[in-house]
Amino acid sequence: MSDAANDPAANDALFRRIVFALFAAGFATFAQLYGVQSVLPEISADFGIDPSRAALTISMATTGIAAGVLPWAFAADRWGRVRVMKISAVSAAVIGLITPFLHSLPLILGSRLIEGLALAAIPAIAITYITDELPARRVTAAAGAFVSGNSIGGLLGRLVAGLVAEHFGWQLGLMTVAALCVVACTVFVIAVPAPHGYLPSRLRHEGRRPDNLPSAWQRFTTALTTPSLWGAYAQPFLLMGSFISLFSFLGYHLQAAPYGLSTAVTSMVFTVYLVGTFTARWSGAAAGRLGHRRLLYSGIALMSVGAALTLAGPLTIIVLGVAVFTAGYFVTSPVTSAMTSLMAGPCRSQATAIYQLVFYIGNSVFGWMLGRAFEVFDWPGVGIGIIALCAIAALLAAMLLPARPASVTPQR
């Protein structure tokens, strides 16, 4: 943690700057990843493929992130959190500008995979960086701000891509989103504060500070074998898999009979992300009062109720259900990411990387599985599948998670 924590004025300024920079990073990450969701029906029509294959444009990017989080985490331990996040943001922005110009599905999928690999450092390291630099009482609030950036990026990425695609085609829609991400990445690179709460191992090994930490392998082993941490890892695996599935296939559902909505109109449904922006920020303050696990249960309950409402016929009830579902998800996300970092203690870099790994594996696995359920059972297959995943997440939280996070100690 930074020495600024002992100076309230300096700590407030550091908090605001970190929140601003990571909001921009979260915006760029989620806009690049999920802007394609609103144009999946157009991609299906253009390439003559079914929804589950079109959804591979998302799954390949999330698979890239899953493959990249652990290598980026180890690189950040050695070379520094901020340096690695800057490299990640810039390289991903460049790849994002190239992808819309590719006119072959295999090339697009390959580019999305590489883009995910490049992006992986930001979700892998951001919460660890927050925990290093800020006092524990502010970690969940800062994590909520980062997740708010995710939600705004996810909203505008989907909204802009859908609105532009309606008139100019999905390629130009994605190109517009990529340009927005370049701006957000530039803001992040300029605004992010230099780290003070963690010295990279490369510098410790050069003798600038004694290396009192366990080895990277010992920290990784602890992060991988602690049951309470697996209770935290299970949440993004199941809940993000639910979240991505709802938004991936909602467009197909609403563009089909009896609704027959256009791409532009279905893109407007994503404005419910604004609800998630508020609940993510609120959850940061509420965790201290209610306890992390109790707040997690509340978020899961909202997700389940929201998914159930989307099974109704009236369009207004479906939109309400999506809003409730989104509010619940953005309660769970900052709580579980903060719990992971706080519980992990000295192995937080490795634990956060594992958290992000299972987060995006769940995204890829359930994004495909519930896509197949949609093709066989239509929307009820997605809605009922999501409710089942939420129930499993709540059960695992009850079995493995403490009411409030407590740090684990790596074995030497």
For 240-263, how does the pLDDT look when each residue is reduced to its tens digit (9 = 90+)?
999 989 988 998 999 988 999 988
Domains identified in the chain and CATH numbers = 3-193+214-400 (1.20.1250.20)
pLDDT of residue 199: 52
For the beta carbon of residue 230, count every other beta carbon within 10 angstroms.
18
pLDDT of residue 65: 86
For the beta carbon of residue 208, count every other beta carbon within 10 angstroms.
10
Q: How far apart are CA 363 and CA 58, in angstroms?
A: 9
Amino acid at 322: V
pLDDT of residue 38: 87
Which candidate, 178, 70, 65, places its Cα nearest to that of 115?
Answer: 65
pLDDT of residue 4: 45
pTM of the model: 0.73
Residue 212 tokens read as 């009192």
Low-confidence residues in the chain, pLDDT < 70: 1-10, 197-216, 284, 406-412
For 363-389, how does the pLDDT look when each residue is reduced to its tens digit (9 = 90+)?
888 988 998 999 999 999 999 999 999
Q: How far apart are CA 16 and CA 12, in angstroms?
A: 6
Ramachandran bin of 8, using left for φ above 0, alpha for ψ from -120 to 50, beta for the remaining angles: alpha
pLDDT of residue 320: 95
3-state secondary structure 139-191: HHHHHHHHHHHHHHHHHHHHHHHHHHHHHHCHHHHHHHHHHHHHHHHHHHHHH
Long-range pairs of 252-257 with CB within 8 A, sequence gap ≥ 24: 252/40, 252/41, 252/51, 252/374, 253/374, 253/378, 253/379, 253/382, 254/315, 254/318, 255/41
Q: Work out whether the CA dihedral 168, 153, 247, 64 comes out positive or negative.
A: positive
> How many residues in the chain?
412
Alpha-carbon torsion, ordered 233, 234, 236, 240, to 10 deg: 160
Which candidate, 114, 123, 329, places its Cα nearest to that of 239?
Answer: 329
Would you give the DSSP letter of residue 195? Answer: P
Answer yes or no: are the C-beta atoms of 218 and 351 closer than 8 Å.
Answer: no
